[in-house]
């Protein structure tokens, strides 16, 4: 048995804790927020601008179920998704997807899923340090300095430290300052986002089994996504630039009212007004891209999830890759008999390739969604038609592989590249 310290008790951190505790390890989780299982916890992650409306694809579902978590309980945290709807000119172009492995993606209530993970962590006797901040990490000593809500300092020392503490990871900062030749690149997308919520999605004409995309006809002004969550509400992620009359920082209510009327005209006036009020009330969030040259330090420290490879949610894979990270880590620990040095080195070798491919595709998808034209829709229809007509020659629909399988991201990227080549040849012919 080893003592393992996980910094960050979000989705990836809590799933890691469940897996490791099942294997008999003593697991400690340091989490700056309160206990989500306590209804009255003042600092528990609320239903806020980042806590709802994420999509769990098949790769994420597999990682969760392999931890022994009930499929029925997981499905109660979300709504199954069978297709996508693209809003153009006030009309939705629906594209239905076909399940390839008997599973549908879930439009997830993130808060409900977090509580489910914490429930299983408690069952397996994971020790949480809620409302504690990680101030420093000793890479060689394998210890973390944490501070509680009363300001008291404490050192936790273990056999392995795992950083699951997000895009602004304290564990990664320690690796940046404590490792030679550690390369790190952080970039921001030109858009940020706000998440707005309306009740009674079905009454507003939204199907709970579709993901909705907006902004296809905005000439690059914005990109939007909407999904129904289990309580029946519809969650809108609105991505806009930071400056201008129509932007995240605008003070011009008339400009934003016109924006919602133009691009969300299918909604009743009262609903558009509610979106407008939320827009001026809720904070905005950055879209960040993080790349690290390595995800580990010796057999002592490991980065997973956004701490290792944060990216914008334009491919819907950030959470899913983080959950898959956990599954890959546990698989490697089993293969190497908990020899941390070998397992962590192999983890970086495998996941760095996948992270780079996923981030490249997310950036490409961001550009397509925020600067689309008619060719975007023609290429999609052409791709599906050609694969159906010539399945042995023409590559399959990348979107269906992405949402309905756990095919590695670098293979999906190659499919995408082949589609682009074939599409250009088809247009020439």
CATH number for the region 3-77+109-185+288-366 comes to 3.50.50.60
- How far is residue 329's CA from residue 72's CA, in Å, rounded to a whole number? 25
- Asked if the model's pLDDT at residue 46 lies above 70, the reply is no
Encode pLDDT of 105-153 as tens digits.
998 888 899 999 999 999 999 999 999 999 999 999 999 999 999 999 9
Give the β-pairing of 83-88 and 210-214.
Answer: parallel
Q: Judge contact between 387 and 400, C-beta under 8 A.
A: no
250: left (phi over 0), alpha (psi -120 to 50) or beta: beta
Quick one: pLDDT at residue 246?
A: 95
Q: Which residue has the higher pLDDT, 59 or 365?
A: 59
The stretch 224-249 carries a mean pLDDT of 91
Quick one: pLDDT at residue 312?
A: 75
Quick one: pLDDT at residue 301?
A: 98
pLDDT tier at 37, thresholds 50, 70, 90: very high
Q: What is the pTM of this model?
A: 0.86
Average pLDDT, the chain: 86
- How far is residue 7's CA from residue 22's CA, in Å, rounded to a whole number? 18
Quick one: pLDDT at residue 426?
A: 44
Q: How many CA atoms lie within 13 A of 376 on its CB side?
A: 18
Q: Which two tokens stand for residue 140?
A: 């060689």
- Asked if the model's pLDDT at residue 396 lies above 70, the reply is no
Q: Which two tokens stand for residue 331?
A: 């698989």
Best CA proximity match to 63, nearest among 1, 117, 121: 117
- Asked if the model's pLDDT at residue 36 lies above 70, the reply is yes
Quick one: pLDDT at residue 327?
A: 98
Percent of the chain whose predicted confidence (pLDDT) is above 70: 85
Q: Which two tokens stand for residue 237?
A: 């992620």
Q: Judge contact between 330 and 304, C-beta under 8 A.
A: no
The stretch 303-311 carries a mean pLDDT of 94
- How far is residue 219's CA from residue 222's CA, in Å, rounded to a whole number? 8
Q: How many other CB atoms sit within 10 Å of the CB of residue 313?
A: 19
Give DSSP secondary structure letters for 40-77. Answer: T-TTS--S-TTSS-EEE-HHHHHHHHTTT--HHHHHTT
Among the ranges given (3-12, 25-34, 100-109, 279-288), the one the predictor scored with the smallest mean pLDDT: 100-109
- Asked if the model's pLDDT at residue 263 lies above 50, the reply is yes
pLDDT tier at 87, thresholds 50, 70, 90: confident
Quick one: pLDDT at residue 392?
A: 55
- Parse the chain into domains and list their residue ranges: 3-77+109-185+288-366, 189-286, 373-428
Q: Which residues contact 321 (CB under 8 A, 6 or more apart)?
A: 59, 305, 309, 354, 355, 358, 409
Encode pLDDT of 335-367 as tens digits.
999 999 999 999 999 999 999 998 888 877 776
Among the ranges given (65-69, 178-182, 278-282, 341-345), the one the predictor scored with the smallest mean pLDDT: 178-182
- Asked if the model's pLDDT at residue 406 lies above 50, the reply is yes
């Amino acid at each position: 048995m080893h003592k393992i310290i996980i910094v960050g008790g979000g989705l990836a951190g809590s799933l890691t804790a469940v897996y490791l505790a099942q294997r008999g390890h003593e697991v400690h989780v340091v989490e700056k927020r309160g206990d989500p299982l306590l209804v009255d916890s003042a600092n528990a992650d609320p239903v806020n601008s980042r806590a709802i409306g994420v999509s769990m694809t098949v790769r994420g579902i597999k990682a969760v179920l392999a931890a022994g978590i009930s499929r029925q309980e997981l499905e109660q945290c979300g709504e199954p998704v069978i297709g996508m709807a693209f809003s153009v000119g006030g009309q939705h172009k629906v594209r239905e997807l076909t399940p390839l492995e008997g599973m549908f993606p879930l439009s997830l209530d993130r808060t409900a899923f977090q509580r489910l993970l914490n429930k299983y962590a408690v069952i397996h006797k994971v020790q949480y340090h809620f409302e504690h901040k990680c101030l420093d990490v000793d890479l060689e000593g394998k210890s973390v300095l944490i501070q509680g809500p009363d300001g008291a300092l404490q050192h936790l020392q273990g056999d392995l430290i795992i950083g699951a503490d997000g895009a602004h990871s304290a564990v990664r900062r320690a690796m940046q300052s404590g490792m030679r030749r550690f390369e790190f690149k952080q970039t921001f997308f030109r858009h940020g986002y706000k998440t707005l919520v309306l009740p009674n999605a079905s009454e507003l004409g939204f199907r709970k089994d579709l993901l909705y995309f907006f902004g296809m006809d905005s000439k690059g002004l914005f990109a939007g996504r909407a999904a129904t969550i289990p309580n029946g509400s519809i969650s809108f992620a609105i991505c806009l630039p930071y400056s201008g009359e129509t932007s995240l920082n605008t003070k011009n209510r008339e400009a934003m009212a016109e924006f919602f009327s133009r691009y969300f005209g299918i909604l009743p006036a009262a609903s558009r007004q509610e979106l407008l009020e939320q827009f001026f009330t809720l904070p905005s969030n950055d879209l960040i891209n993080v790349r690290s040259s390595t995800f580990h330090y010796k057999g002592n420290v490991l980065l997973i999830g956004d701490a290792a490879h944060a990216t914008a949610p334009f491919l819907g894979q950030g959470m899913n890759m983080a959950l898959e990270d956990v599954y890959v880590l546990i698989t490697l620990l089993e293969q190497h008999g908990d020899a941390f040095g070998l397992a962590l080195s192999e983890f970086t070798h495998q996941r760095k390739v996948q992270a780079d491919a996923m981030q490249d595709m997310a950036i490409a998808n961001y550009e397509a969604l925020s600067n689309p034209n008619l060719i975007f829709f023609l290429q999609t229809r052409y791709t599906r038609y050609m694969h159906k007509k010539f399945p042995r020659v023409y590559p399959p629909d990348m979107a269906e592989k992405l949402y309905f399988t756990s095919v590695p991201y670098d293979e999906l990227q190659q499919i995408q590249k082949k589609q682009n080549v074939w599409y250009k040849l088809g247009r020439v012919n």
